[in-house]
Every structure is written in structure tokens, then in C-alpha cells.
Amino acid sequence: MVKPRTLYEKIWDAHVVERRPDGTCLIYIDRHLVHEVTSPQAFEGLRLAGRKVRRPDLTLAVPDHNLPTTPRRDADGKRISIADPESAQQLAALERNAPEFGVRLIGDADLEQGIVHVVGPEQGFTLPGTTLVCGDSHTSSHGALGALAFGIGTSEVEHVLATQTLLLKQSKTMAVVVDGVLAPGVTPKDVALAICGTIGTAGGTGYVMEYCGSVFRDMSIEGRLTVANMSIEAGARSGLFAPDEKTFAYIKGRPMAPKGADFDAAVAWWKTLVTDEGAVFDKTVVIDAADIVPNVTWGTSPEDVVAVTGVVPDPQSFADPSKQAAAQKSLDYMGLTAGQKMADVAIEHVFIGSCTNSRIEDLRAAASLLKGRHIAAGIKHAMVVPGSGLVKQQAESEGLDRIFLDAGFEWREPGCSACLGMNPDKVPAGERCASTSNRNFMGRQGPGSRTHLVSPEMAAAAAITGRLTDVRELLNNEEGVVA
């Protein structure tokens, strides 16, 4: 009798190159995504040691973090150089390193360019049951397709480039179970925020999560990408969804995905990638779908979550004294006071984008609210940054760009943008942004910036009213009159 295994254990076991007596395993890495910020020192390390990339065919390079979201080529097709010399230097390093080491590079102005975590699934590079790494913590996103995917540091990037393996200890397993049906206006982002709010940013440390329950089974692949993306905000390096028919349909026909008989053989194996009956998780967290509402963050940690209908919490209400102090510091930074209604918080900026929420379904959801409406007078800057050139093209073919532009949004080129403010897209100090990104850390969107994490629908709602707004007030309310 074979011991029942979780999905994570099955993928792990299939990738053990060598198991050591102390339990450390040399794990084979099937997929490696490389971007311009966390790779230059790794390639330099290889060069200094005279080492090669072991499997350039399993490696894909895409610049995303630094790129300006303004046009990258002029009317004659000539590069518009990046104004910031350091950003330009990082892009140039990737453009030099990829061909030198035989790695395929999707260029900054290619239609396929985008945020690595949008590009991987879109190109069929991300596959169920594979191990996938990238020098970026939001690599957890790819778990939506059933890939064991996690972020690594630059030394590990170099290790994978040189050996196609990593030395790892097996993680503990956590089942995150959400059963029921999400209410109208409640999105995958709200589910992700609810998880962060429930278990905290360290709740998943040391664990690989598996998302179980009807809410996740019913969720689209893009919704799953949003949830898996934020696994790391709850401390888990990786979060898995068991691949299903939706996954197979999503992958079929994508450029880098298996074709024909290979695809069929792959699907046959992918179908075995489910947690066995009787397998034991080290921890189980249960959230009732009926308890999840449209959420916003009030503080400077993704665990600082409150219903948009709620109020800013009183720091004294936290049991842990160090959390009380942290909450007070957060409120001072955010310019909020305990007891203030979240729906009264005025905002000046709206950012729709990031590897969390920049896919076509996200843009459709935001556009459906913005159609025929306009951003409020108090909004200084609202922008949409599609996750990839292909998302942008699709949105334009559906006329979504016109809806955003008519509503007063800017329509930009793809990249990480204001999620982390490495490029010129920043929120000014002391100003407030309703953002579909994943982190509300101090200074994340620019020094002194104040971030409220929300879903694309809630970002659109905030843009329309000029304050954090319960999206449900705008649903079925075509006139845009807010109660």
C-alpha cells in the first residue's frame, strides 16, 4: 500500500535528484524565468568562474521591473533610451547576458514582453507538475497551474543557471480550504487578502499551501493566478492548485506548451497530480466563502486587512503589544486615525496592474465599471498597466483601452511599474493610492507613498468616487450615482 501523498509531495518526489541523510534534497528545476534586476550578479558569477548555463532551453529571460511604461520605440522603430542610466544598464546587461549564455530573451518591445509571471503562463512555459523558479518572490503565481513555483535569491539564480538544481529541505504542507460561493463584488483578490488577514504575513512561513475547496475549483485560471500570487504575502513561498480540465484547456495550444501526442502524454501525468484521499496536511486553515467581503488594507503590511465597510482599527485592540506598536506606526505613516471609516478615505492615485491583477479578466472587470463613467475630480493620476503586450493587444481588440482612456485613465506599456516603483511610475510622498498590486509596505510605491491594496473592481470604484468605495454600491447602478 502506497502512502497517500499531497500534491506537493508528489511534485517534490518526482524532482528528487538525490536525497541526503539529513533530509536535504537536490531538486531538479524544470523552468527558470530570469529578469533584469536579480540576474546581473548571477551571470557575472558564472562568467568569473568560467561556468555555463546548464539548460538554456529550460530558461527564459524577460525584462519587466525597470522598464518605463511609456512607448519604447519611436515612429521609426528606434529605441527610446531609458532616461535612468542605472535602469538602462540593467536592461543592457540582460540583453548581453541572455545571448552570451544561449538563453532565449523576449525583448523589451516584443509583443510577448510583460511581467514574468504573466508571460510564463501565457506562453505555455509554465506547466503543471513542473518545478519553476525565478528571482522574484511572486513566482508563487505559477502555482495556479499546478507548478511547484517559488522565488529565489540571486545566489540561487546562479546555482540554477549552473546546475539546474537547488538544495532544498522539504516544506510543511498547509491546506487552505474555502468552500461556498463568493458573493457578487467579491473577487479572487478579496479571497487572497482574506487569507493574509486571517493567518498573517508569517502564517505560511515554512509551508507550501494547497488551495482546496469549491471556491478555488470554481475559480478561473486567472483568478487562481491572483490567489497563488499572494501566497508569499501570507509567508508561503509556494501555493498550489491541483491542475484540472480548466488548466489543461488553458495550456493547450500555447506557444511553448507540449503539442500533439506530447500534450496528451503530459495531460495523462498531470491528471495524477491531486492530493490523495487520506493524505495528511501539517496544518489546515478553513475560511467560509460567505464571510469574505470586498476588502481593503489599512496599514503597511498585507495582513492589515479590513472590510471596505469597516473602520480603521484601534491599535490598542490588538492583543500582541508589538503588533499594537506596529499598528500605531502604520497609522502614523498612512495618515489614518483609529475609528475612521475606510469608505471615507479619499485617494489621489489609482494603479491597475502588477503580476497580481493585470490580466485580461482583471482589465475587463475594471472596464465594466468604468464604462460611461469618469474618474473623480480629486484623482490626480489613474493608470492601467497591462501585464503583457498580448494582454494589451487583446484589451485593445475588445475596446477596453477606449473605456479606460475615456474615463480619464492612462493606458500604458506592460511591466511591473508602480507595484514597486523601480521605474518612473511612483506615488508621491504623502499621497494615497488604490492599487491592485500585492504589497503595501512603507515606501513600496515610492518614498512616503500610501498604498491601499484592492481588487481591480474596487480600484475602478475608487477612481469613480475619489475615495475607497464598496464596489457593490456601483454594481447594477449604470448611472454611476453612488448611494
Partner 1 sequence: MDKLTTVDGRAYPFGMKNVDTDIVIPAHWLKTISRNGLGKGAFEVLRKEPGNVFDDPDYAGSPILIAGDNFGCGSSREHAAWALGDLGIKVVIAPSFSDIFSGNAFKNGILTVVLPQDAVDRLLEVAQGINGTPDPIHVDLESQTVTTQFQDRFTFEIDPFRKHCLLGGLDEIGLTLDQGDVIDGYEARQAQDRPWIVPAAVA
Residue (of 147, 116, 151) closest to 233 by Cα position: 151
Of the two residues 17 and 475, which places its CB atom closer to partner 1 in the complex?
17
**Cβ at position 24, least distance to partner 1 in Å:** 5
Q: Exactly one of 107, 206, 466, 480 binds partner 1 (CB under 8 A); which one?
A: 206
- 300-329 binders of partner 1 (CB under 8 A): 301, 322-323, 326
Residue (of 390, 342, 381) closest to 363 by Cα position: 390
CB neighbours of residue 483 within 10 Å: 7
**Cβ at position 181, least distance to partner 1 in Å:** 32
Q: Is 172 an interacting residue with respect to partner 1 (CB under 8 A)?
A: no
Query: In this chain, which stretch among 42-50, 221-229, 282-290, 357-365 interacts with partner 1, using CB under 8 A?
Result: 42-50
Query: In this chain, which stretch among 220-228, 264-272, 342-350, 370-378 interacts with partner 1, using CB under 8 A?
Result: 264-272
Q: Exactly one of 146, 151, 415, 456 binds partner 1 (CB under 8 A); which one?
A: 151
- 224-253 binders of partner 1 (CB under 8 A): 232, 235, 237
Taking the mean position of all CA atoms in its chain, how far away is CA 399? 25
Q: Is 282 an interacting residue with respect to partner 1 (CB under 8 A)?
A: no
- 386-405 binders of partner 1 (CB under 8 A): none
Q: Exactly one of 70, 154, 198, 393 binds partner 1 (CB under 8 A); which one?
A: 154
Of the two residues 265 and 482, which places its CB atom closer to partner 1 in the complex?
265
**Cβ at position 474, least distance to partner 1 in Å:** 32
**Cβ-contact 251, 221 below 8 angstroms:** no
Q: Is 450 an interacting residue with respect to partner 1 (CB under 8 A)?
A: no
Query: How many chain residues touch partner 1 (CB under 8 A)?
Result: 83
**Cβ at position 311, least distance to partner 1 in Å:** 22
Q: Exactly one of 373, 444, 450, 467 binds partner 1 (CB under 8 A); which one?
A: 444
- The CA–CA distances, whole Å, from 255 to 105, 139, 389, 441 equal 15, 20, 15, 36
Q: Is 81 an interacting residue with respect to partner 1 (CB under 8 A)?
A: no
- The CA–CA distances, whole Å, from 290 to 211, 310, 313, 351 equal 17, 17, 22, 28
| Helix pair 360-370, 389-397: axis angle to 10 deg | 40
**Cβ at position 165, least distance to partner 1 in Å:** 6
Q: Is 164 an interacting residue with respect to partner 1 (CB under 8 A)?
A: yes
Q: Is 170 an interacting residue with respect to partner 1 (CB under 8 A)?
A: no
**Cβ at position 257, least distance to partner 1 in Å:** 6
Q: Exactly one of 107, 424, 428, 443 binds partner 1 (CB under 8 A); which one?
A: 443
Query: In this chain, which stretch among 280-288, 349-357, 364-372, 415-423 interacts with partner 1, using CB under 8 A?
Result: 415-423
- 335 torsion bin: left (phi>0), alpha (psi -120 to 50), beta (else): left
Of the two residues 338 and 442, which places its CB atom closer to partner 1 in the complex?
442
**Cβ at position 164, least distance to partner 1 in Å:** 7
Amino acid residing at 266? A
Grid cell listed for 305: 486587512
Of the two residues 51 and 402, which places its CB atom closer to partner 1 in the complex?
51
Grid cell listed for 416: 511591473
**Cβ at position 258, least distance to partner 1 in Å:** 4
Of the two residues 182 and 192, which places its CB atom closer to partner 1 in the complex?
192
Integer-rounded Cα Rg, in Å, for the chain is 22
Q: Is 128 an interacting residue with respect to partner 1 (CB under 8 A)?
A: no
Q: Is 192 an interacting residue with respect to partner 1 (CB under 8 A)?
A: no
Q: Is 115 an interacting residue with respect to partner 1 (CB under 8 A)?
A: no
Q: Is 66 an interacting residue with respect to partner 1 (CB under 8 A)?
A: yes
Q: Is 41 an interacting residue with respect to partner 1 (CB under 8 A)?
A: yes
Q: Is 353 an interacting residue with respect to partner 1 (CB under 8 A)?
A: no
Of the two residues 201 and 309, which places its CB atom closer to partner 1 in the complex?
201
Q: Is 424 an interacting residue with respect to partner 1 (CB under 8 A)?
A: no
**Cβ at position 184, least distance to partner 1 in Å:** 32
Q: Is 422 an interacting residue with respect to partner 1 (CB under 8 A)?
A: yes
Q: Exactly one of 113, 130, 275, 449 binds partner 1 (CB under 8 A); which one?
A: 130
Rounded Cα distance between 282 and 216, Å, is 20
